[in-house]
């Protein structure tokens, strides 16, 4: 499921390398960083919802139901096998549907990378000169750019609920928790 998570929400750059760096920031700097992160997290969520909508609208009603059943079967399986489920999903789709899924994913990925680059630039301007954002998440994004998921894996990643990404925060009790978020 880690691969599915990687495809669904691309990690956002860490604000500081550890809690010690975070503690050295002034309250105004921490507030500015939180506000910047929240604004970009909202934009990232909107991009994800747009991709999800594009993917669902690109599937025939029969295939949409078959995809839902496959993901539901995975959710209640005694021994879930995400790789097999992704293969089944890929086999359900027509060639045109596969292409639409991959095109929507690629578009999301490119827009998300641009958004992350913009956020890194803004965060750097909000941090003191001796505190530097971690580059490990940026390196991970570059590694993921080399991966070529199939349409089944994209469907599984985009349409499956990811409870480990949710925290009991904003949005009526459920807020997206994105990797790299500054400490609360």
pTM more than 0.75: no
pLDDT for the residue 14:
45
Name the H helices within the chain.
2-8, 19-23, 27-57, 61-76, 82-92, 95-126, 136-146, 151-159
pLDDT in tens, 40-68: 999 999 999 999 999 999 999 999 999 99
pLDDT in tens, 162-184: 654 444 333 333 333 444 455 55
Q: Is the pLDDT at 102 greater than 60, yes or no?
A: yes
pLDDT for the residue 131:
58
- The CA distances from residue 108 to 9, 10, 45, 51, 72, in Å, are 10, 10, 11, 6, 25
pLDDT for the residue 122:
85
């Amino acid at each position: 499921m880690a691969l599915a998570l990687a495809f669904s929400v691309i990690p956002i750059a860490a604000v500081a390398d550890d809690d010690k760096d975070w503690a050295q920031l002034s309250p105004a700097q921490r507030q500015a960083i939180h506000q910047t992160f929240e604004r970009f997290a909202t934009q990232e969520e909107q991009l994800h919802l747009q991709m999800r909508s594009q993917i669902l609208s690109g599937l025939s009603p029969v295939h949409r139901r078959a995809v839902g059943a496959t993901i539901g079967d995975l959710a209640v399986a005694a021994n879930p096998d995400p790789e097999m489920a992704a293969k089944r999903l890929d086999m359900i789709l027509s060639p045109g549907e596969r292409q639409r899924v991959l095109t929507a994913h690629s578009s999301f990925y490119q827009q998300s990378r641009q958004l992350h680059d913009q956020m890194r630039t803004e965060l750097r301007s909000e941090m003191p000169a001796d505190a530097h954002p971690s580059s490990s998440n940026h390196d991970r994004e570059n590694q993921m750019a080399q991966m070529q998921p199939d349409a089944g894996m994209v469907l599984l990643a985009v349409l499956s609920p990811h409870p480990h990404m949710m925290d009991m925060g904003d949005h009526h009790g459920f807020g997206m928790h994105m990797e790299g978020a500054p400490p609360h």
